[in-house]
């Protein structure tokens, strides 16, 4: 069972369609995002950034702190809608719709574009219930126990928790908790996963496990990930987007400097800014 975009295309279109204007997207892309201007209130946080997210690949977002990596990532499934001052000028195209079109329900969007956060955040309930949570929310009618097992296996956690499914998710180690959150995110088969520094709270061994898992998952998912760890980007990301910041309108405004295959960005960057950043000239 996979979560390919083709498999869910008709479902998503049916769910969001009412009155949506069909938008054209290159067939190789899972998400086509363009940020002309992104504001928090009057503050211009990100400008002029076009991010084509390729299907079946891992795209890494790198750059100095405050350049808008998380902000842009969270815009890809309307997670920023929770912030009243947030405003996007631009678009995020997904399966032929602009997810910011007026009648598109962000809750539906987040069912198709899942998210894993920086700090593992299991709910205060059993391991089983954590993974079953989204299935129950979506009133899944099939075999919930089977889906929970499948998600835990795909998240490489099953063997470690199969005898303690009733234990609290909070009783697991940090690395296990993050894999539990990944299992929870993939249980409902979203074809795209957003990961915001998923390893920053983990030790090197747990980090390595999550990285291996991401590489396995990309066979069925498209992944976009923020990382502050350059080695991690080179280990797992197929494509890398490098962001930087400049001073405009009295604040620090982030923008995409360049994006390309990870090897090209790290070995032959086109822009001086990228070269400088990779040499550690600013962080």
DSSP code of residue 86: E
DSSP code of residue 21: P
* Of the candidate residues 7, 83, 107, 137, the single one contacting ligand ADP (CB under 6 A): 83
Nearer to ligand ADP, 20 or 229 (CB): 229
Residues in the chain: 283
The CB-of-282 to ligand ADP minimum distance in angstroms stands at 13
Nearer to ligand ADP, 40 or 91 (CB): 40
Nearer to ligand ADP, 58 or 241 (CB): 241
Nearer to ligand ADP, 117 or 128 (CB): 117
User: What is the DSSP annotation of 141-160?
Assistant: -S-HHHHHHHHHHHTT-HHH
The CB-of-220 to ligand ADP minimum distance in angstroms stands at 27
CB-based contact 241:62 (threshold 8 Å): yes
Sign of the C-alpha dihedral, residues 97, 102, 108, 109?
Answer: positive
Q: Is 122 in the site for ligand ADP (CB under 6 A)?
A: no
* Of the candidate residues 49, 59, 70, 222, the single one contacting ligand ADP (CB under 6 A): 70
Q: Please, which of residues 196-255 interact with ligand ADP by CB under 6 A?
A: 226, 252, 254
* Of the candidate residues 16, 55, 58, 71, the single one contacting ligand ADP (CB under 6 A): 71
Q: Please, which of residues 10-69 interact with ligand ADP by CB under 6 A?
A: 40, 43, 45, 63, 65-69
Q: Are strands 239-248 and 251-261 parallel, antiparallel or unpaired?
A: antiparallel
The torsion angle over the Cα atoms of residues 248, 252, 253 and 255, rounded to 10 degrees, is 120
Q: For residues 23 and 13, what is the distance between their CA atoms, to the nearest angstrom?
A: 12
The CB-of-86 to ligand ADP minimum distance in angstroms stands at 7
Q: Where in 24-71 does DSSP place strands (E)?
A: 29-40, 43-54, 58-62
Question: For binding to ligand ADP (CB under 6 A), which residues are involved?
Answer: 40, 43, 45, 63, 65-71, 83, 85, 226, 252, 254
């Amino acid at each position: 069972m996979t979560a390919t975009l083709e498999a869910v295309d008709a479902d998503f279109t049916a769910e969001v369609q009412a009155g949506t204007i069909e938008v054209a997207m290159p067939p190789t892309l899972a998400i086509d995002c363009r940020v002309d201007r992104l504001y928090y209130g009057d503050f211009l946080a990100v400008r002029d950034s076009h991010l084509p997210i390729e299907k079946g690949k891992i795209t890494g977002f790198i750059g100095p702190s405050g350049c808008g990596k998380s902000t842009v990532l969270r815009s890809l499934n309307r997670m920023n809608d929770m912030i009243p001052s947030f405003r996007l000028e631009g678009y995020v195209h997904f399966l032929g719709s602009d997810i910011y079109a007026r009648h598109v329900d962000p809750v539906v969007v987040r069912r198709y574009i899942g998210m894993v956060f920086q700090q593992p955040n299991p709910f205060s309930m059993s391991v089983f219930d954590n993974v079953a949570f989204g299935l129950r929310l979506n009133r899944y009618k099939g075999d919930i126990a089977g889906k929970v097992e499948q998600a835990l296996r795909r998240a490489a956690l099953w063997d470690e928790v199969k005898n303690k499914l009733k234990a609290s998710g909070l009783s697991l180690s940090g690395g296990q908790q993050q894999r539990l959150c990944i299992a929870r995110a993939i249980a409902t088969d979203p074809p795209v996963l957003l990961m915001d520094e998923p390893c920053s709270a983990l030790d090197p061994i747990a980090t390595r496990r999550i990285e291996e898992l991401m590489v396995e998952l990309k066979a069925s998912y498209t992944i976009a990930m923020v990382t502050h760890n350059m080695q991690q980007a080179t280990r797992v990301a197929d494509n890398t987007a490098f962001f930087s910041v400049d001073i405009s309108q009295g604040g620090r405004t982030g923008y995409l400097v360049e994006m390309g295959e990870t090897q090209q960005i790290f070995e032959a960057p086109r822009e001086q800014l990228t070269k400088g950043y990779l040499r550690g000239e600013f962080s």
